[in-house]
A and B are shown apart, each in its own frame.
Chain A
Amino acid sequence: MEFGLSQDQLLLDDSLRKYLSTEVSLESVRKVAASDVSDNDMWRGLADMGLAGIVIPEAHGGAELGMLDAVAVAEALGYAACPGPFLSTAIMGAHLLNRAGATDPLAGMASGDYRVGVAFSDFVGARKGQVTEVNSQLSGQSLYALDADADAYLVALADGRVYMVETEHLARQSLTTIDVTRSVCELNFSQTPACLVTEDAQLVRDTIYRGRTIQAADTLGAAQYMLDQAVAYSLDRKQFNRAIGSFQAVKHMCAEMASQLEPCRSFVWYAGHAFDEMDNEAALTACHAKAHLAEVGQFVAKTSTEVHGGMGFTDLVGLHYWFKRIGFNRQLLGSPEQVRHEAALLQGLCDA
């Protein structure tokens, strides 16, 4: 019995974190966020480490690793607030295309040259805009597609059919959100030629569960960063001739963050492992992990900012990038209430 990351996974985690600490600094994140530079170099660097193709089979140029490996990577990326299409291209796009047998794009995705975005809002729960299909042509609008500079998009319709559309055939508008470390867009279709990838709604669900698990891990990493920063700041900042970290009011805020966050590490590991080894538990743990991390992440984001006092509120310290990234993970692919409703559905506690 061994619960935790393997030696190989720890090595991967270690080398990734070393890379991120030098190549993905707060300054470089700021530049990408301000759209001064593209995230291409960062994504290329991650692709060179094998992370763009992390779940893609070796036959298609990938590393063919499991979801637990991907979870460890996502945690590290969240910790660095790293931009890039890990969630969309490397996890959701790669998994869906591979399982659907549409393997042609995989090699380009694994090398980091080709990005596949995901427009799943209609399937997760359409709020505005809906995409319809007639004669393999799509019409309508899809909002909050990940990410804004993909070469092609997987568009999931409400009934679970998934079409692939090349970006050159559609009208795309980048959308500003609170989280500038990730990019989203609206896609407008008008009798846009599209290629059917799958009609398997279960595969779409499975892909979303994987995405949610990765979001949970990303939030864990981002929240861990915010807790670490809060503790470090509290030891540095002095008021009333003492480090503010020596006041119980501040210590208890940090202890509460740690007490909620530390079990989340086991949670996302378990959720990742479930996809690799315990298929029957994967859907439920993915929903619970996503919703639970959304709540804990929100608490840590707020509390860490408070520990920083006024500086936490400024752009200067940059803590807000992580605050907003956690907020982004909370809503995309289902708000906590929506995902918990799914968790109840999956257990047969209620009707759809």
Chain B
Amino acid sequence: MDLSYGHEYDTFREEVKSFIQAHQHKQPGPGDGLKSPALREWQRLLIENGYHSRTISSEYGGFGAEPDIIKSRIIAEEFGAARMHRGFNGQGVTMLTPVLLEMGSETQKQTFVGPTINAEIIWCQGYSEPGAGSDLASLTTKAELDGDEWVINGQKIWTSTAHHADWIFCLVRTEPDAPKHLGISFLLFRMDTPGIEIRPLVDMTGDANFNEVFFTDVRVPKDQIVGERGQGWQVANAILGHERGSLATPDAALNRLNGVKRLMREESINGTPIMDNPIFRDRLMKLEGRALAMQYNDMRLLSAKINKNQDVRLAAMIVKLAGTELRHEIECLGIDVMGEIGLGYGDNPHVRGHGAWQYQYMFYLGLIIGGGTSQIQKNIISERGLGMPKEPKIPAASAK
């Protein structure tokens, strides 16, 4: 067991710290939206200095460093500690870019990677459909070839940032006669193409974090496909791997738990701070134990990226399930600490933390469901992690 990163990384950590000190004042503020010059300028600064798109080849607009998991971790730690803006990390950056680098054509890499990581192209993801959620491969949005163009018809749902997006990466059925996993293709197209309609989907938080997107005879050039026809499912799965790990980070859970501790000192009932109430303290300590377990689990996962002989498959599979449930419960404790004050939301003048406790409580329920529901996670853990059999398939009802 050796938890130090080694002396050679101390210098690197100092570099990161001094970068943060020197540039902290230039960070984009809450008012700087996705398309603001401030965000793009910040993005450019981060990439130039290797704090964003660090390992993406400079040929495609990245910083071009050798992959070094510890350096990446140090950057995350120091930016986190200083609450420094990490730059734009939308779905185009975190999910599409790795896939284009792995499976895209040279032209696609040249065309899309640079503008995407520089926040010049904002992407949205067109996967889920009203009839294809957990069973994503049953999606029915179809694309038919007409000359040199795909003609797309159908509907997507849960499409976050669709209203801001310039482009979409989208799963469509191109081979209606093939088995469901083999009939899907992965297309890229502009969101201002005629025939696309976006309807915001207001969720329980009161925000429209997602949208419905409707396609009516949307015409897309034939070559805007990643991989071959019918390979879309493989491409999509490569991306989902990138998504799951990033949804639940243990550092954030511990930070939030420290927020609960502050709240328990500040809030009181009849003059007695909540922290002095042993029932609340016990709940706090229970959650702290769980959060620490996830943090050490994360150290083990980091270690396995450096020491290739360590088997952490199961430890990695449980992160989304355990991490999102934990965050949901931490937010719940924050609300309970405040009692009726915890009901406050929106413009309520008595609201604490800008309403974040209720907001996150609901948002994390969304994350428990999204990105592969907890139930789908349990299927994956039991089948791939514990070697248990798949549920037998029910033969399709014969069409009459």
A interface, CB within 8 angstroms of B: 1-6, 68, 231, 234-235, 242-243, 245-248, 250-252, 254-256, 258-260, 262-267, 269-270, 273, 276-278, 285, 288-289, 291-292, 295, 337, 340-341, 343-344, 349-350
B interface, CB within 8 angstroms of A: 1-6, 70, 261, 275-276, 278, 281-282, 284-286, 288-290, 292-294, 296-297, 299-300, 302-303, 306-307, 310, 314-315, 318, 321-322, 375, 377-379, 381-383, 385-392
Q: Return the chain B residue nearest A343 by Cβ.
A: B285
Q: What CA separation (Å) do A200 and B310 show in the bound complex?
A: 41
Cβ–Cβ contact B385 & A267, under 8 A: no
Cβ–Cβ contact A288 & B292, under 8 A: yes
Cβ–Cβ contact B381 & A258, under 8 A: yes
Q: B6 — which chain A residues lie within 8 A by C-beta?
A: 1
CB proximity of B323 to chain A, nearest CB, Å:
10
Whether A270 touches B299, Cβ cut-off 8 Å, given contacts A254-B388, A344-B281, is yes
Q: Return the chain A residue nearest B387 by Cβ.
A: A231
Q: Which of A247, A251, A266 contacts B299 (CB 8 A)?
A: A266
Residue from the set B4, B5, B296 with the largest chain A CB neighbour count within 10 Å: B296
CB proximity of B398 to chain A, nearest CB, Å:
22
Q: What CA separation (Å) do A292 and B294 show in the bound complex?
A: 12
Q: What CA separation (Å) do A248 and B275 show in the bound complex?
A: 41
CB proximity of B279 to chain A, nearest CB, Å:
10
Cβ–Cβ contact B386 & A1, under 8 A: no
Q: What CA separation (Å) do A337 and B289 show in the bound complex?
A: 12
11 additional A-B pairs beyond A235-B387, A266-B315, beta carbons within 8 Å, are A1-B5, A2-B1, A2-B306, A245-B388, A246-B391, A254-B386, A255-B377, A273-B1, A291-B285, A350-B275, A350-B278
Q: What CA separation (Å) do A259 and B326 show in the bound complex?
A: 12
Q: What CA separation (Å) do A106 and B4 show in the bound complex?
A: 34
Cβ–Cβ contact A340 & B1, under 8 A: no
Q: What CA separation (Å) do A265 and B294 show in the bound complex?
A: 10
Cβ–Cβ contact B285 & A340, under 8 A: yes
Cβ–Cβ contact B387 & A2, under 8 A: no
Cβ–Cβ contact A259 & B315, under 8 A: no
Cβ–Cβ contact A267 & B292, under 8 A: yes
Q: Which of A246, A263, A276 contacts B388 (CB 8 A)?
A: A246
Q: B390 — which chain A residues lie within 8 A by C-beta?
A: 246
Cβ–Cβ contact B385 & A255, under 8 A: yes
Q: A4 — which chain B residues lie within 8 A by C-beta?
A: 1, 300, 303, 307, 310
Cβ–Cβ contact B1 & A68, under 8 A: yes
Cβ–Cβ contact A337 & B282, under 8 A: yes
Cβ–Cβ contact B377 & A266, under 8 A: no
Q: Return the chain A residue nearest B5 by Cβ.
A: A1
Q: What CA separation (Å) do A263 and B301 show in the bound complex?
A: 10
